Chain A
Amino acid sequence: MKILVCISNVPDTTTKIRFTDNNTAFDATGVQWIINPWDELALTRALELKEASGEAIEKITVINVGPQTTEPTIRKALAIGADDAVRIDAVPEDAYAVASNLSSYLKDNPYDIILCGIDSSDYNGSLVGGMLAEFLDLPSVSSVSKLDIDGGDIKLNREIDGGSEVLSTVVPFVAIVQKGIAFEPRIPSMRGIMMARKKPLNVVPSGGEAALTEFVSYDLPPAKSACKMVDAENVKELVDLLHNEAKAI
C-alpha cells in the first residue's frame, strides 16, 4: 500500500501579512515558509500508520504543486520521514489548477490513500481535496479526525455538528483531514535532516489545466481595537459596554 500526502507551502502562522502592488499581490518579503499545519499532521499520521503496519505500507510520498522555491518545504517533509517527493512545476494559481495538476499526475501514478488538509492556512480555500477526488473519480471523506487501518479494514472518524460519525471505505480513496488526525506534528530528527537531500525529489512538468479564478484585490481586516478590562465585580459596566459600545447585546 502507498500513501500520498498533498502538501501546501504556506507562510508561517505568525507572519505579518502585507500586500504590494496596490493590494493586488501578497508581499512575500521576509516570509518564513512552512508545511501547511494540517498537511504536517497528515504526514505524521501517515508515518504512524506505516510504522505500525509492518511491511503493509511500503512508502509515503509527499506531493506539492509549486515553483522551485517550495523545495525547502518539501525537503522538510522528507526530513520528517516521507520516503520520496514529487513537485509538479507550476505556480498554484487557484485550487482548480492545483487539483487538476495533482490529478493529471495521479492518473498515471496511483496511490491507495491520498491525504489532503481541510484547508490551507494561507488561502483557506477548502477546495483542493474535494476537487481532486472528483477529478480522480474516487471516494472522498471530509473533516476526517481519525484514520485507522486494520488489515484491509479502513475506519475514518468524521466530525459533524455535535458529534462524529465512523465510516469505512476501501482503497483507493481521498481523506480530507483536520484536527485530531495526529496529536502533534513530528519533529524531524538530526538523521532525518541529513538524509533529506539524499531522498528522491522528482520534479515533473505541469500537466494540469489553467486557473479558473483570478485575484482582483486583497483587503486586510480592520485592526483589532485594544481590549478593555472590566473589573469582575462590575457586571453593570460590562453589560453597559456590551450593549451601548460593542452593540453585541
Chain B
Amino acid sequence: MDFLFTEEQEMIRQAARDYAERELIKDVLERDEKAEMPTAHIKNLTELGFFGMMVSPEWGGGGMDSLSYVLAMEELSKIDAATSVALSVHNSLVCYGIEKYGNDAQKEKYLRLLATGERIGAFLLSEPEAGSDATSQRTIGEDKGDHYLVNGTKNWITSANLGSVYLVTVQTHPEKKHHGINVLIVDKDTPGITLAPHEDKMGMRSSDTHSVMFSDVKVPRENRIGDDGFGFKFAMKALEAGRIGIAAQAVGIAAGAMERAIQYSKERKAFGKLISEHQAIAFKLADMAVKVEAARNLVYKAAWLKDNGHPFSLASAMAKQFAADSAMEITTEAVQVLGGYGYVKEYHVERLMREAKLTQIYEGTSEIQKIVISRSILK
C-alpha cells in the first residue's frame, strides 16, 4: 500500500491550488452575490487542461488518473465549488460516460472536442418528477427509425448554458419501465431546445443551472449510446464515477472551511486568550480534521479502485455520503468558530456552508447513497 502521491499528482494539486488562490478567489464573492456564471474561469481552466484531463491521449485528453482529478477537484472546491461542479460534470459524467460506453464514431465526433474542453458537457437525467427516482423518466424519445423525436423537460441541469454536448436520458419504451430508457448525445443547438432562466439558488449561485425543454427535437439514431434500452444502466454507471468527483468537491469545501476556521482561531481573542486556546474550540477543530481526513481517504480509495480496474460503486457511494455529510457538519461548525464574522459573506465560510448543502443533494442524495450502501452490504 502506498499513500504517497506521485510528482505529477503533486504538481496537479499545486496547479489547481494556485489557480484557485490567485484567480477564483478574486471574484468568487461577487459571482455568488450576482449569480454570475464563471465563464472566464471555465475558459482558463480549459486552457490549463483540466477539462478532459482523464480522457485518454488517444482521443486528445490529458490521460491522467482519477486520483489526479480528485486532487484538482479538492483544491478548486476549497475556494469555489460553483466553478468546480462544471468540471465534475464534464469529466466524470460526460467524458467518462462517452469514453467508456460510446462507439468510435461518437468518440471521434464528440469526445475529441470534450477532451480539450473545446466543448463542455452537461448531463440531463433529472426531471421535475424524476429526481432520486430516476426510473420514472417522462421525457420521451420516440423511435422514428433514423432518429429519435424527443419531448419533455429536464430539471436543474448544470452547465446547461455553458455546455453544448448534452447527454440526455429519454424513455423510448414506457411499457418496459427503466429497461426502456435510452441515453442520447444531443447538440445543444438542435432546433426545439430551450432553456428556462438561470435558477436562483441558495448556494453555488454562480454555477450554471437551468431547466431544459425539448419540443420535437430530432436526434439522429447514431447518437444513442449502447444498445436500445441501455440508458438507465448508463446513467447509473456514470453516476458511480460522478460521485467520486462530487465527494472530492465535498472534501474540498470541508477542508477550505476548516483551514479558514483554524486560521481565524489563531488570530481571534476572547476572554484574554486566543479562541484556539479554548478547548471547546480546539476540539471542534480536531473533529473537523478527523472528518476531513477520513473523507479524503474514502475518496482517494474510490479513485484508486477506479484507476486500478476494480469495482468502485460501493466505495464511491460511501465516499460521497460521508464526505457530503461531513462537509455540512464541518462548514456549520466553521461558521460557529468564526462567530458573527462567520455569518457575514466577506469571511467565506457561510458560502462554503451553503455550497456544502448541495453535495448532499445532487448526484444522488445522502439517503440514496445509503440505499446503495445498504443494498450492497445486505446482499
Contact = CB atoms under 8 A, between A and B. Distances in A.
B11 A189 contact: no
A174 interface: no
Nearest to B16: A187
Q: Which of B19, B48, B64 has the most CB of A within 10 A?
A: B48
B7 A191 contact: no
A187 B22 CA distance: 10
A94 to B, nearest CB: 28
Nearest to A188: B15
A113 B326 CA distance: 53
A184 interface: yes
Contacts of B22: 184, 187
A136 B378 CA distance: 75
A220 interface: no
B47 A194 contact: no
A131 interface: no
Given A72-B7, A184-B22, A187-B48, A193 B63 contact: no
B42 to A, nearest CB: 15
A189 B48 contact: yes
A190 interface: yes
B17 to A, nearest CB: 10
Q: Which of A189, A190, A196 has the most CB of B within 10 A?
A: A190
A188 B11 contact: yes
Contact of B62 (A79, A194, A196, A197): A194
A187 B72 CA distance: 13
A189 B22 CA distance: 15
Label chain A's interface by main secondary structure: helix
B8 interface: yes
A75 B63 CA distance: 18
A76 interface: yes
B157 interface: no
A190 B12 contact: yes
Interface string A119-159: 00000000000000000000000000000000000000000
A196 B7 CA distance: 10
B200 interface: no
A196 B48 CA distance: 15
Interface string A210-228: 0000000000000000000
Interface string B133-160: 0000000000000000000000000000
A187 B12 contact: no
B8 A193 contact: yes
Contacts of B49: 189-191
B166 interface: no
A76 B8 CA distance: 9
B84 to A, nearest CB: 15
Nearest to B63: A194
A134 B19 CA distance: 39
Contact of A187 (B7, B19, B53, B64): B19
Nearest to B53: A190
A76 B62 CA distance: 17
B18 A190 contact: no
Interface of A: 72, 75-76, 79, 184, 187-191, 193-194, 196-197
28 contacts: A72-B7, A72-B10, A75-B7, A75-B11, A76-B11, A79-B11, A184-B22, A187-B15, A187-B18, A187-B19, A189-B15, A189-B48, A189-B49, A190-B12, A190-B15, A190-B48, A190-B49, A190-B53, A190-B62, A191-B62, A193-B8, A193-B11, A193-B12, A193-B15, A194-B8, A194-B63, A194-B64, A196-B11
Interface of B: 7-8, 10-12, 15, 18-19, 22, 47-50, 53, 62-64
